[in-house]
Amino acid sequence: MNERFGLRSRRPSPGLGLLCVVLLSAACGSRDPRDERVHRAREGRGDLVIAAAWPWDLRKEIRYGEGLQMAVDEVNAAGGIGGRHLRLARYDDRESIDHGRIVAQQIAGNPDVVAVIGHLQSYITVQTAGVYSQAGLVLVAPTSTDPKLTQLGYTRVFRATFTDNSVGRQLAELVASQQRKKVAVYYIRNDYGRNVANAFEERARQLGISVQARNSYDPSEQASERTFDQVLTEWKPMNLDAILLAGEVPSAAIFVAQARRKGIDVPIIGGDAMSSPALMAVAGAAAEGTTVASFFNPDEPRPEVVRFNAAFAAKYGVPPDAGSALGYDCVQLLAHAMKEARSAVPEDVARALHALKGWRGVTGAFSFDEGGDAAKPVIFSVVRGGRFEYLPTPAPAPSPASPASPTSPTSPTGAARAVETRP
């Protein structure tokens, strides 16, 4: 999105490069970098380093780092991992694919790193997953919802959230549970928007929901009221029960505001990329009643959420957000796997993660399938009084032809997999 990496590297002379190789070989005992990582994880005495790759400078409004650090502090206060403390190493990817690759190489070259938590954007995580795999690292993706991430065949890649496809299916089940039969679908024309819209429409058909219209908009456009005017004019006379909006803020918020100005008052139901305070900041009062999918809502009454809210507020003096909860869960998830494996060696940690059955985190229960996806339900929130209010998850919606669709993540055999906050 924003590429502000302006440092230029100078090419070293051949002599200097040879000297560096000699010194590195001597320091590492001529070990292969992956072997050195395993040796330090197994035999070392210092901190166990978890790399956190994220656009730290560009996304200061998200309290993600606080969630990561709170988990690290709790693990260390309880004795760490086999007596060794965890330590975070922050790497800023600038939300740029090019810089994300540079960061991934830097992380791969640090033999003290035993795991990676990153990145924010799916388009970076998908591009860098191979670097981490080659380096023998465990990668836990906190917010990357693109299904491609876990279809690449890497055995140490894990997704801590749901997929775009899962979001689309569960949004359709929410619509069905509300007895809404006629909907229009509007989506942003990128991988995220298409994935959510396609999955919604497929599941909607199974549930007897009729998609009356389907339109999209170009993500490269500078969104304004004019961007959506023609579509909304066409939709206004339709007898719709709801609008499915697979968009991203701020453009999705502009759509919501314009729909209300046009007099379209049917419920608007959005994907997880709309679960941002920017929805209310841009749409204002027009956002009231909009329902969105999300990773987390602090009003959810589960004991894990109640405890986390209290601890986070006591430590930082502010309430947690979805980023806080995901960051916290990712660290605690890795720490739990290391304790179960009695090892910080990445291969051992990966096996322990695959063996998890219903580990309860703040953002839900974790069980990973063979590909590394976590079968987690979507959290729904509705805008009321200018804030996201928790909306209890509806009961699974049976399709007219069968008790439940095998592709539904709410059925016993279903598998789920975010965000962007923003893929």
Q: What is the pLDDT of residues 20-45, one digit of tens each?
A: 433 444 444 456 779 999 999 999 88
- Give the mean pLDDT of the chain: 88
From residue 65, alpha-carbon distances to 103, 146, 334, 374 in Å are: 17, 22, 16, 22
Taking a C-beta distance cutoff of 8 angstroms, is the pair 144, 163 a contact?
Answer: no
Of 409, 178, 171, nearest in space to 269 by CA: 171
Q: What is the pTM of this model?
A: 0.84
Helix then strand then coil, % of the chain, to nearest 5: 40, 20, 40
What was the pLDDT predicted at 203? 98
Sorted by sequence, the CB contacts under 8 Å of residue 113 that are 6+ apart come out as 37, 49, 50, 51, 89, 107, 137
* Strand ranges in 3-141 using DSSP code E only, listed in sequence order: 48-54, 86-92, 113-118, 138-141
Taking a C-beta distance cutoff of 8 angstroms, is the pair 291, 268 a contact?
Answer: yes
- Domain 165-294: give its CATH superfamily: Response regulator (3.40.50.2300)
Distance in angstroms (rounded) separating the CA atoms of residues 272 and 295: 7
Distance in angstroms (rounded) separating the CA atoms of residues 251 and 106: 35
What was the pLDDT predicted at 408? 37
- Domain(s) labelled CATH 3.40.50.2300 in the chain stretch across 1-21+31-162+296-377, 165-294
Phi-psi category of residue 402: left, alpha or beta, with phi > 0 → left and psi -120 to 50 → alpha: beta
Torsion of CA 72, 156, 190, 292, to 10 degrees: -50
Sorted by sequence, the CB contacts under 8 Å of residue 222 that are 6+ apart come out as none
Taking a C-beta distance cutoff of 8 angstroms, is the pair 271, 245 a contact?
Answer: yes
At 207-240, the pLDDT tens digits run 999 999 999 999 987 888 788 999 999 999 999 9
CATH number attached to the domain at 1-21+31-162+296-377: 3.40.50.2300
Distance in angstroms (rounded) separating the CA atoms of residues 223 and 228: 8
pLDDT at residue 414 greater than cutoff 50: no
Rg of the Cα atoms in the chain: 22
CB-count burial class (<10 Å; 0-12, 13-18, 19+) for 58: middle
Model confidence at 376, pLDDT cuts 50, 70, 90, reads: confident
